Structure 1
Amino acid sequence: MKNYLRLLSYARPLGSFIAPFLITSILASIFGVLNFTLLIPLLKVLFNQVDAQEMSKMLVPTSGFDPIKEFNYYFAKFLSQHGKQGALMFVCAVVAVTIILSNVFKYISIRLLENFKSNMVANLRQAVFGKAIHLHLGFFSNERKGNLISRIVTDVQEVENSIANTFSAATKEFFLFLAYIYSLFAISWNLTLFALLVIPISGIFISTLVKKMKHNAGEGQQRLSNLISLMDEVFGGMRVVKGFVAESFVTEKFREENQGYRKAIFNLAARREMASPFSEIMGVFVVIGILLYGGSLILSNESTLEASEFITYIAIFSQVMRPAKDISNAFSSAQRGLASGERVLDLIDSHSLIKDATHAVDLKNFEKSVEFKDVDFSYDGNIQVLKNISFTLAKGKTIALVGSSGGGKSTIADLVPRFYDPTGGAILIDGVDLKQVSQQSLRQLMGIVTQEAVLFNDTIFNNIAFGKNVSEEAIIQAARIANAHDFIVQQPEGYQTIIGDRGTKLSGGQRQRLSIARAILQNPPVLILDEATSALDTESEKLVQDALTNLMKNRTTLVIAHRLSTIQNADEILVVHKGEIIERGTHEDLLSIPNGFYKKLSLMQTL
């Protein structure tokens, strides 16, 4: 119940919705029930059960507002003045008016509900995305991308389909149900008590179903997340799938997840749909019981009910089963929405492990150095990745990190913009611990170019600008420095060319030069280059390396290098192996170390 109310709270402002929705729902219910209660005097006339004494009572004007007595007064007036035909026309006219009003108010309440649902879903989806985008980088390393997309898209949509509809049944249908029950008690309280005996039986049955359905709903949503994750991985890596002739393998994986989802959804639907026929069967048996019990009382003259009242009672009771069934079905269907809602709320409740200090410092400029002091690091408290890392990256200098794969080079680079926090030691920027610096001001001082150029399915112009409001001249200037302008102007639409998903319409070297142009446009004082040329061919590498040389001018640079030829001019080279710095110095210094690790790497690449 707590999660249910919390999900509903995203439809804020609730105050502007609840009051008009409740009013229109109540009015729709009242006018809907009046259609049946107004039949009683008409049936009495048709069955010749209205005597002179009753007519005189009905012709007495009412004091105060009582719609039933008001109706009886005008009904009797029409009957006395125009006969049965006039009374019939009067009742039909009033029923037509009540039906029109009932449906008008029902339409207004539905419009309000749809606005409520769309508002809730938009706010919930915005909250989930906003929360996810601000979580620490490690969260995305541990979480499958497809699972995140599933929570933001399909789970939120399921909340709309189930939770919001349940709210409708819990209010609009509930009011209608109460109105019918009130009318039934007003006609015959003993018959109504007899009829309500079915409610505890139905309640026990449905509560048992609900518990089993919640498990099926949770499994179904997890299976759907797995399907989306698998599709994202397969479609994103289609070149590998084709290259390794793995179509059958991934198809079988998809089949397993798809069949698991089918079974979970089938079990959920089977149990959910069981509630409707059970309620209907129970309702029919109650109607049969009422017919037998009430009819026998009337035939034996032991009941105060007249035939017209009994017929109206049966008519109203046949209608009361509809809102009762809708409420039952809605709460059964809500289990899938609740399972999805819990997954959404779990993401909203996730906490970023990287947080700004209470009085975090905003850095305006980079003045002196970035210093690592005895830094240790491990992911999630497991195997230690870095041990006692110490070095100083002075302003205007270039430090290169080299070593075998998995040695910890990228982890060191990720610690500088504070994607992660060290588990031991400290990292200082201009003498201030990074944990005391606001993340936004820190990252605004840095430009990052990675091995994989991260581009978006947008224009070349927007990929370089990346959210910045800059002039076309500034974009072109950045592209020229990055050696990208020439190939850009050769594109069909120039700078307005759409480059496809992840820039697939461009070559690797072209994508990398666009990411360099983006970094140039930001004009950061500190650069982090993570093997920016390792995946390129010789011609592309030459163009990209020239672009990087332009980018590195007069900047402080931390370079992760795979090809040692690209970092020979670095001010200092750190050789990182198994999480430790085992050698350091200039290119010439390291080559002079007998049997040194760097010297072995250099010889291997030369060979």
Structure 2
Amino acid sequence: MTGDRPAAAGSTLRQGLAVIRRGIAAQPRWFAVAVLGATVYGVMTGLTAWAIGWVVQEAVTPAIEAGHATSGQLWLVGGVLSAVVLVNVVGVVGRRLAGGIAMYNLGAHYRREVTRQYLRLPLSWHHRHPSGQLLSNANADVEATWNIFAPLPMAIGVLVMLAFGIVQMLVVDPFLAVVGLTVFPLLFAANVAFQRAMSPRMTQAQQLRADVSQVAHESFEAALIVKSLGREDHETERFRAVTDELRDANIEVGRTRGRFDPAIEAIPTLGTLAVLLVGTHRVGSGSLSAAEVAQIAYLFSITAFPVRALGWVLAKLPRSVVGWDRVSAVLEARGAMDHGDRDLPRSGASTVATESVSYAYEIETDPGEPEGSATLHPAVVDVTLEVPAGATVAVVGPTGSGKSTLTNLLMRLVDPDTGVVLVDGIDLREVRRGGVSEVAALVPQQTFLFDDTVRGNVTLGSAHDDAALWRALEVAHAADFVRRLGAGLDTRVGERGASLSGGQRQRVALARAIIRDPQLLILDDATSAVDPSVEQGILDRLRRASAGTTVVVVAYRMATVLLADEVFYVEGGRVVDRGTHAALLGRCPGYEQLMTAYAREAAERAAITATEEAAR
């Protein structure tokens, strides 16, 4: 992804300001309120210096000269300072509340945008990007992009404090103000050096967060493989290595901050000492009063703070830029499918056809190369076929021959590189978004169940009554085992259906497709995990229930193939031959060899089952 390449150090500030402008444009009202609160804070902080000087002049000095303070003087001091502090608190609360709302709104908005883009992009794009990286884009990278809005309103608002304080210092005593302001060039130079040193370190740390997410996701997804092969130590070491890299990168960020922070904190202190030393001399010479020196010293101490606040923003800019690069790489990704405005007719079974369809997968030879440099692996080559309405056809072929890719093309999960896919004579590219899934259903080779109830996994939120649910489960040969579950339809099946067997998961997934009463039903080896006897029952019920449905089934078992009206034999992504099962056995050597192997395997399984039953 383009976001994986760090931005040039010289362009970090420019890119960061562009990200800030984008955020302000998306949340103008809340950001304006936050800046207003920060401005109130800045003005009132500046007025605090005036209030201190006024209190010293009008209350403290007279009390010292008189040797005691009157109650009126105490009430005056308390009232003036309380009023200033109260208004200041209002500004701080407004700044933090509005700034936080703006930041969280931006995070929520862009998480939704990234997720929508994931759903819009075709499978071909997802094949090129690891899931762990995509999770990081939607979470850590979005958060990194907009965290800069936490200190930003304050940094903008305190510019008012800076201007207000400098004007006040110049009004009180220009000479002493110039003495104090000489440290500001030093502060600015220190902050620029800090930002330049932090930029590459923050970039590396943010990229390593994505690496940690990717490795963790792979380990969790492959938990069964890791445990069954005894590779826990290997995966632990792999995760340890990348987390150690992230730890070291974060330590380097902290070490860099530790080198600069003392200097940046010390510079204002040195300026304050210089103001006090020169100010004391000018008081002794009668040029200034003690109240004026106290006012300028306080003003200087508070005007040094805004420069530090700007430094906080500069420190967050590199991470914000890296985060936005990675997020925008998703939002600007090419490959999203275009949709037309046509509807597929709802008039019974659909006809399906392909005309000279070809499709190739992109395989990255070097992950460091930019997108578009991948090599192509043809999966479907110049396939032309036609399935009449209401027919049941089987797609048969050796592993890797393009069968699953063909089912993806028929569902328009991917678009062909050349040729067209037609359903009821309509090019699927012309169908409106969601139109294909309204008339067609796919039961994929790899079954996925949500961490939800059986009801939720079958309906997926659509409105179906219990009667329809049980009918679909009956056809899928799943009703009996669902009734035996603790809460029936309302039994939670766990993450990815962990509480169910592989065959049970397949039957729930099959019911999920059947309940939608599709005109086109595509089964990609959808009964491979069930016993042959159960499979036979499912296929018999499905054939009776789908009398008005066109069925395309990727078949590996003889029982499935025998249900088909016609068989398409596929090799190397091409349809080598087509016809009835009997006809292909007599003229297609590849098909005959494959079916003989399937029959032999089925016979061996049946013999093993019979032996086990006899032993019991």
TM-score (normalizing by structure 1): 0.87
Could you tell me which residue of structure 1 aligns to residue 187 of structure 2? Answer: 202
1:351 aligns with 2:364: no
Could you tell me which residue of structure 1 aligns to residue 114 of structure 2? Answer: 128
Could you tell me which residue of structure 2 aligns to residue 485 of structure 1? Answer: 479
* Kept after mapping to 2: 8 A contact 1:375/1:389: yes
Equivalent residue for 1:147, pick from 133, 136, 141: 133
* Gap change, CA 1:563 and 1:197, over 3 Å in 2: farther
Counterpart residue type for residue 407 of structure 1: S
By how many angstroms is 1:395 displaced? 0.8
Identity %: 25
- CA–CA separation in structure 1 for the residues paired with 2:422 and 2:337: 16
* Kept after mapping to 2: 8 A contact 1:531/1:561: yes
Counterpart residue type for residue 316 of structure 2: S
- CA–CA separation in structure 2 for the residues paired with 1:499 and 1:105: 51
1:588 aligns with 2:573: no
* Kept after mapping to 2: 8 A contact 1:448/1:529: yes
Equivalent residue for 2:103, pick from 106, 111, 117: 117
1:371 aligns with 2:357: no
Equivalent residue for 2:516, pick from 513, 522, 531: 522
**Deviation by residue 1:177-214 (Cα, 9 ceiling, x = unmatched):** 33333332332233333333333333333333323423
Could you tell me which residue of structure 2 aligns to residue 30 of structure 1? Answer: 43
* Kept after mapping to 2: 8 A contact 1:45/1:84: no
- Map 1:281-300 → 2, pairs under 5 A: 281-300=266-285
Could you tell me which residue of structure 2 aligns to residue 177 of structure 1? Answer: 162
* Kept after mapping to 1: 8 A contact 2:350/2:550: no
Deviates more, 1:509-518 or 1:205-214: 205-214
Counterpart residue type for residue 600 of structure 1: Q
* Kept after mapping to 2: 8 A contact 1:159/1:341: yes
Equivalent residue for 1:604, pick from 588, 597, 612: 597
SS of 1:379's equivalent in the other structure is: strand
Counterpart residue type for residue 375 of structure 1: V
* Gap change, CA 1:83 and 1:450, over 3 Å in 2: closer
* Gap change, CA 1:487 and 1:38, over 3 Å in 2: same
- CA–CA separation in structure 1 for the residues paired with 2:24 and 2:262: 33
**Deviation by residue 1:263-305 (Cα, 9 ceiling, x = unmatched):** 222222322344432211211222233334444444455xx43
By how many angstroms is 1:11 displaced? 7.1
- CA–CA separation in structure 1 for the residues paired with 2:344 and 2:249: 53
* Kept after mapping to 2: 8 A contact 1:198/1:282: yes
Counterpart residue type for residue 124 of structure 1: Y
By how many angstroms is 1:501 displaced? 0.2
Counterpart residue type for residue 342 of structure 2: V
Deviates more, 1:41-50 or 1:29-38: 41-50
SS of 2:446's equivalent in the other structure is: coil
* Gap change, CA 1:291 and 1:550, over 3 Å in 2: farther
**Deviation by residue 1:366-419 (Cα, 9 ceiling, x = unmatched):** 676222112222124613222221111111112211111111111111111212
* Kept after mapping to 2: 8 A contact 1:374/1:388: yes
By how many angstroms is 1:600 displaced? 0.6
Could you tell me which residue of structure 2 aligns to residue 75 of structure 1? Answer: none
- Map 1:154-233 → 2, pairs under 5 A: 154-160=140-146, 162-233=147-218
* Gap change, CA 1:206 and 1:32, over 3 Å in 2: closer
- CA–CA separation in structure 2 for the residues paired with 1:547 and 1:213: 66
By how many angstroms is 1:488 displaced? 1.2
1:325 aligns with 2:287: no
By how many angstroms is 1:457 displaced? 0.3
Counterpart residue type for residue 23 of structure 1: L
* Gap change, CA 1:538 and 1:196, over 3 Å in 2: farther
Could you tell me which residue of structure 2 aligns to residue 459 of structure 1? Answer: 453
Equivalent residue for 1:400, pick from 394, 398, 403: 394
* Kept after mapping to 2: 8 A contact 1:176/1:323: yes
* Gap change, CA 1:573 and 1:333, over 3 Å in 2: same
- CA–CA separation in structure 2 for the residues paired with 1:543 and 1:164: 61
- CA–CA separation in structure 2 for the residues paired with 1:116 and 1:576: 56
Could you tell me which residue of structure 2 aligns to residue 251 of structure 1? Answer: 236
Q: 5+ unaligned residues in a row in structure 2: which ranges?
A: 1-13, 363-374, 601-616
RMSD: 2.7
- CA–CA separation in structure 2 for the residues paired with 1:547 and 1:237: 35
1:534 aligns with 2:528: yes
- CA–CA separation in structure 2 for the residues paired with 1:541 and 1:569: 12
**Deviation by residue 1:511-540 (Cα, 9 ceiling, x = unmatched):** 111111111111110011101122334455
Equivalent residue for 2:318, pick from 335, 350, 353: 335
1:361 aligns with 2:363: no
Counterpart residue type for residue 575 of structure 1: Y
SS of 2:118's equivalent in the other structure is: helix
Equivalent residue for 1:43, pick from 50, 56, 60: 56
Counterpart residue type for residue 115 of structure 1: I
By how many angstroms is 1:96 displaced? 1.6
SS of 1:383's equivalent in the other structure is: strand
Counterpart residue type for residue 301 of structure 2: S
Could you tell me which residue of structure 1 aligns to residue 381 of structure 2? Answer: 387
By how many angstroms is 1:29 displaced? 2.5
* Kept after mapping to 1: 8 A contact 2:35/2:156: yes
**Deviation by residue 1:493-519 (Cα, 9 ceiling, x = unmatched):** 111111100111111111111111111
By how many angstroms is 1:447 displaced? 0.8
SS of 2:421's equivalent in the other structure is: strand
- Map 1:36-115 → 2, pairs under 5 A: 36-44=49-57, 86-115=72-101
* Kept after mapping to 1: 8 A contact 2:45/2:88: yes
* Kept after mapping to 1: 8 A contact 2:33/2:94: no
Deviates more, 1:127-136 or 1:190-199: 190-199
Deviates more, 1:494-503 or 1:26-35: 26-35
By how many angstroms is 1:476 displaced? 2.2
**Deviation by residue 1:161-191 (Cα, 9 ceiling, x = unmatched):** x311132332333333333333323322333
Could you tell me which residue of structure 2 aligns to residue 469 of structure 1? Answer: 463
* Gap change, CA 1:376 and 1:48, over 3 Å in 2: closer
- CA–CA separation in structure 2 for the residues paired with 1:413 and 1:47: 87
TM-score (normalizing by structure 2): 0.86
Equivalent residue for 1:556, pick from 539, 550, 556: 550
* Kept after mapping to 2: 8 A contact 1:3/1:342: no
Could you tell me which residue of structure 2 aligns to residue 572 of structure 1? Answer: 566
SS of 1:592's equivalent in the other structure is: helix
* Kept after mapping to 2: 8 A contact 1:7/1:341: no
* Gap change, CA 1:324 and 1:112, over 3 Å in 2: same
Counterpart residue type for residue 344 of structure 2: L
By how many angstroms is 1:249 displaced? 1.0
- CA–CA separation in structure 2 for the residues paired with 1:542 and 1:506: 21
Could you tell me which residue of structure 2 aligns to residue 308 of structure 1? Answer: 291
Equivalent residue for 2:124, pick from 138, 145, 164: 138
